[in-house]
Every structure is written in C-alpha cells, then in structure tokens.
Amino acid sequence: MTMRDAIAAFVHDGDTVAIEGFTHLIPTAAGHEIVRQGRRNLTVVRMTADIVVDQMLAGGCVSKLVSSFVGNSSAGSLGELRRRIEHALPEPLEFEEYSHYGMVCRYLAGAQRLPFYPLRSYAGSDLASVNDGIRTVTSPYPGPDGQEERIHVVPPVNPDVTIVHAQRADRAGNTQIWGLTGVQAEAVFAARRAVVVVEEVVDDEVVRSDPNRTVIPAHAVDAVVACPRGAHPSFAQGYYDRDNAFYRSWSHISKDPERLQEWMQRWVLGTRDHAEYVAMLGEEHWAGLAVGDALSLPVNYGRRL
C-alpha cells in the first residue's frame, strides 16, 4: 500500500498506536503521515519516546504517552513533550512510565496473550509508586532464598496498530531486519493490526535466500509500505547513516513553540508525502549520510540433493 492509504486504513482517532524501532529504523515517515491526516486522541506506545513523538505531539495527535526513556537520543531535549508534562502547555499529556525492560515485558505479555509478565528489576525502585499498572503478586514458587516471594508484574499491551520500519520485505510482508534491533517482532505480534514500512520491497527469492533475517513473518502483517529514507533522522543499516546534525538541532527547534510550528508547517504539513520531504532535504544532504559497503559473508543453507 501507499503510506497514505495504510495510515488511512489502519490508524483511527482514539487508537492505541505502537511505534517501534530502537535508535535504528524509527518509522518517522509514518508519524508524519499520521500528522498530515489529522489523527487525534491517540495513545502512543513507544519504548524510547523521541523526536517522532515530539513531532506527533506538536501535530496535535497524541493525548497519552506510554513509554520508558524520554529524550532526544542523547542529543538534547524534547521541547513539546516537556511543555506538556511540566506545564500542561498547550494542554496536558497523560504519561504512563515504565522501565525499558518493563516495556519489553508488556510487549511479550501482549504478544503471548498473557495476563501479565513478571520481572525482578523493579525491586528497590520507586517507579511503582507513580504507576499503578506496576503491581506485585505472590509467586507460586519459592524465591531464591527458599521463602515466599513477592514479585512485580506489568500488564500486557495490545495496540490497535503497531508500525515498524525495516530494511526490506517481500510483497506478502515477510520482513527482514539486520543491525540494531529492538522489540519490533514482539510489538507486531502484540497488536491487532500491523503496518511495516520498508526501504524496499524485494522479490520473494531475496527473502528466501536468507530466511534467518526474517524477523517478522507475513502472517503477522496487514500492510507493507515502500518508503525509502523513511526512518530519517534515524538510520537504516546499509542504506543511510544517522543524521546527527538534525538530532542536535532538534532541541533548539522544539524549545521554541513558534519555531516548532513553523518547522511542522514546512516539513510535515506543507509536504504531500515523504518523497517530497526527502527531495526538500536535497541530494547534497543525503550524500552526507551515504554509507559504504560492509558485506556479510554468504551462508550456505544447503539443500536436499
């Protein structure tokens, strides 16, 4: 599908939308299209709420955020998010906070249709005191000391739709990822619907030639969208590098509400689609993000004689 058609079909006002990709392969172009289509009252679930979340907030799309790490990927702050949480400007943002691993466990529980997922890493933390979704249960088994153990649990998350970015997929939706991965597969399996955005759609034979790179299988995918450079300013391993200059500039753009809205009008609302956004950046800009070859050795899977 086109990005426009996929967002129109699978993202609706009031939905819970998971947007996943950990530093790498962030589906920014999908977030921009959600803004263009004027979606409202979304609950966004994202392990690392970053620039794309700040932009969706500035676009008026998000009323609740479920996340762990919040920030501009070690390059600064998120002005719109901070205004909403710290000062309720221009309106408050409901924020439900977990740890990174707590979010992973929520996706695991959602993907496996479990009622909750246990984890020990909240012991000693005060996070449970500000999030009543983090609870304790008595383990049916003895703890490490042989005594009864109280253990923290988190609830499953089952988004209405999960959106991820990847390097490639075939037309059926078999999706291949290499390099830095996150919880893309778990987030897709946890969701009711899934949209996979890729750098390129390839022939079936390409996917079949290296099946172990297929992180997300076709039966879990509802739509495949070809959107080259759709993860900018994050990176797609083997396709283009991370735009560190953009990350550094975002703190200055987002801290000024007027400047932020001007940026949104020019780069998101003022563009018809991501291809136009890419063209506006210019080939010189993309040349600066070009990557060279770092080829993997071929693998012999063998075949029956």
Chain centroid offset of residue 243 CA: 17
User: Cα Rg for the chain, rounded, in angstroms?
Assistant: 20
d(CA 197, CA 200): 9
Cβ contact 163:195 at 8 Å: yes
- 233: three-class secondary structure by DSSP: coil
Phi, psi of 297 (to 5 degrees): -65, 145
For residue 207, is pLDDT > 80? yes
**pLDDT, tens digit, for every residue of 107-161?**
999 999 999 999 999 988 999 999 999 999 999 999 999 999 999 999 999 999 9
Residue 183 reports pLDDT greater than 80: yes
Q: How confident is the model at residue 76 (pLDDT cuts 50, 70, 90)?
A: confident
CB atoms within 10 A of CB 194: 25
φ, ψ at 161 (rounded to 5°): -150, 140
The residues, ordered by sequence, that sit 6+ positions from 240 with a Cβ below 8 Å of its Cβ are 229, 232, 286, 289, 290, 291
Q: What residues does 44 pair with on adjacent strands?
A: 17, 65
Q: Is the pTM of this model over 0.85?
A: yes
